[in-house]
Amino acid sequence: MKKKDNAEPRSSKTDLRVELDGSALTIAQVNQVAKYYAKVELSESALGAVKRGRESVERILKSGVAAYGVNTGFGILADTRIQDKQLGELQLNLIRSHSVGTGEALSEIDARAAMLVRLNSLLRGNSGITLEVVRILQAFLNKKVYPFIPRYGSLGASGDLAPSAHLGLCLIGEGFAFGEDHKKIPTITILNSKRIKPLRLKAKEGLAIINGTQVMTAMGAIAVNDSINLLRSMDVAAAMSLEAMGGSLSPFDSRIQNLRPMHGQAHVAARIQRLTRDSELIGTSPHVQDPYSLRCIPQVHGAFQDALDYIRTVIEIELNSVTDNPLIFPETDEVISGGNFHGQPVALALDLLSLVLAEAAIFCERRIDKLLSKHNPKVPIFLSPNPGLNSGLMVTQYTAAALVAENRVLGTPAGLASATVSAGQEDHASMGVTASLKAAKALEHTSKVVAIEMICASQALDFLLSGSSRKHRPKLGQGTAIAYKEIRKFSPKVTNDRSLHEDLEKITQGIKQDRIVREIERTLVL
């Protein structure tokens, strides 16, 4: 496994606490628990709901009626009645038989997020599980048990069965987890070391653990959080490019935005104006009109932001939904089968996220092209002090173009690959986990493209600053000046050709940590 995927999140020491009640979990809280090990607490009201849900299951079992998933088989085997003495074995067999995932493990962050999302859903009390199930999930999170969950195997309908089953294996003390050195070892070894007693499954519990959209939703929550940060950094990169090419601020006039009242468009236009305020380079271009990649920043970046607002809404609704099947209604002791396990809402949102990120990378790459190809005649081609002998930043565009090309593939909706399984009973699949994996990869690629734009814009600004006398050195914008200074801490000006690989990695990491934007926000309100 790659070290970067399974490395411990950035901080293992935290005083953060997140109380779950099944109804109020946020994307920010998912990130606090998954990345920073915030302690998970369970509300008393939620524990009461879980208890009432289990009492209802016990009453249903005593009544002798056939209830899907409680005392019957699964899927197309739903008509097969299971004897009471075999109900625990039924749930155990379910976990074992569905643990057929493959591929590299989910990162620790994604695995922790998945456990949190499943725990929050179970706390609603409609899944019919015992308190032991929620307690062991809480223990896994608070005692930092990192279960081995292969990333491939979910169709996103009937929930994220295969990856969730691997989590279920760990809960019962089987399967594998990762030790302190991130080596995969038998789960029981880790549970013994942390004094966690393996779960003994009862009727309905195996199904409640694996049947739901927790994996796609968890990964979506991480991706949405990081995409919000990325779009903030992309606005900064765009402002730097606008300044480096002497672009006009006229297209950012609020009167233009008011005639097309898209929320994101107006927000982005205002941000660019704040970032470039007091700049003496803005408006110095000899061109009558700027190219679309500059002039249409509010419209294009704004559309990305509006789309992300929709995606965030879907994910936050799903974080607080009950998505297994069947569902228990303790008020009437009814067991009702439905389709909340189907991941279509989340899958569509995450397919849209991949498309947003792919489009964002394309737009950034167009500005990189302008920065390198003398759109501003005051800077040399490829941003090299000595073009010819030196190639300068020429090949940064190649890397950006390669990432853009792969993003175009990732932008293809995963949902179009729907499959029919379970002897035709499950005849439509959302492919939500596939969509979440695509979005995560597109996010990584686009972060690097934005980093390349920042490096190129900083290099262009170097020429504009050094080409003037010290007495008349042009002033940068209030926000772009801070961004330029921050970037130059990790990526010095290129005078003679050198490898820019490390520069790219450092700036990308800064974008992921929202470092540049947060530094600007120490001074400006964005």
DSSP string, 286-315: SSSS--HHHHTHHHHHHHHHHHHHHHHHHH
Beta strands in 304-433 (DSSP E): 327-329, 334-336
Residue 19 lies in a domain: yes
Which residue range(s) make up the domain with 61? Answer: 3-212
Kindly state whether residue 135 falls inside one of the protein's structural domains.
yes
Q: Of the residues 185, 212, 239, which one is the last residue of a structural domain?
A: 212
Residue 242 and residue 118 in one domain: no
Instruction: Note whether 129 and 230 are same-domain residues.
Output: no
Do 204 and 233 share a domain, yes or no? no
Q: What is the pLDDT of residue 43?
A: 98
Q: Which of 212, 233, 248 is the last residue of a domain?
A: 212
d(CA 379, CA 370): 11
Residue 207 lies in a domain: yes
Same domain, 193 and 285: no
Distance in angstroms (rounded) separating the CA atoms of residues 171 and 281: 60
Q: What is the pLDDT of residue 465?
A: 93
Write down the pLDDT at residue 77.
77
In a domain, 526, yes or no: no
Question: Which pLDDT value is given to residue 5?
Answer: 43
Return the pLDDT at 12: 47
**Hey, what are 526's tokens?**
């964005």
- pLDDT at residue number 11: 47
- Residue 83 falls within a domain, yes or no? yes
Residue keyed to tokens 């001074």 = 523
Give the span between the Cα atoms of 24 and 321, in whole angstroms. Answer: 10
Catalytic (active-site) positions = 68
Residue 330 lies in a domain: no
pLDDT given at position 9: 47
Question: Tell me, what's the pLDDT at 472?
Answer: 77
Q: Look at the alpha carbons of 258, 264, 270, 272 in this order and tell me if their dihedral is positive or negative.
A: negative
Answer yes or no: do 137 and 61 share one domain.
yes
Amino acid at 347: A
Please check whether residue 331 lies inside any domain of the structure.
no
Task: Return the closest-CA partner of residue 190 out of 205, 171, 162.
Answer: 171
Last residue of a domain, one of 193, 212, 231: 212
Are 298 and 160 in a shared domain? no
Tokens, residue 432: 């939500």
Q: Collapsing DSSP states into helix, strand and coil, what is residue 417?
A: helix
Distances (CA, A) of 340 to 323, 324, 433: 5, 6, 16
Contact status, residue 329 vs residue 203, Cβ threshold 8 Å? no
Closest CA to 282 of 253, 250, 237: 250
Q: What is the DSSP letter of 511?
A: H
In a shared domain, residues 110 and 257: no
In a domain, 503, yes or no: yes
Amino acid at 116: L
Q: Are residues 410 and 513 in the same domain?
A: yes
Place of tokens 């970046």: 301
We report the CATH number of the domain holding residue 80 as: 1.10.275.10
Greatest Cα-to-Cα distance within the chain, rounded to the nearest angstrom: 91
What's the CATH code of the domain at 445? 1.20.200.10
Q: Position of tokens 């005692």?
A: 143
pLDDT of residue 14: 58
Q: How many CB atoms lie within 10 A of CB 100?
A: 12
- Reduced to 3 states (helix: H, G, I; strand: E, B; else coil), residue 374 is coil
Dihedrals phi, psi of 424, to nearest 5 degrees: 85, -5
Indicate whether 188 and 295 sit together in one domain: no
Residue 487, exposed/middle/buried by CB under 10 A (0-12, 13-18, 19+)? buried
Overall domain count for the chain: 2
Q: What is the mean pLDDT of each run of 10 residues along the chain (526 residues)?
A: 41 77 98 98 98 96 87 80 89 95 98 98 97 98 98 93 98 96 95 98 95 97 98 98 98 98 98 98 94 98 98 98 96 94 97 98 98 96 96 98 98 94 88 97 98 98 80 91 97 97 98 97 93
pTM to 2 decimals?
A: 0.94
Pairing type for strands 184-186 and 176-178 reads: antiparallel
DSSP state of 127: S
Q: Are residues 236 and 199 in the same domain?
A: no
Question: Same structural domain for residues 82 and 7?
Answer: yes
Q: What spatial distance separates the first Cα and last Cα of the chain, rounded to whole Å? A: 39
pLDDT score, position 79 = 82
Looking at the structure, tell me whether residues 255 and 351 fall in a common domain. Answer: yes
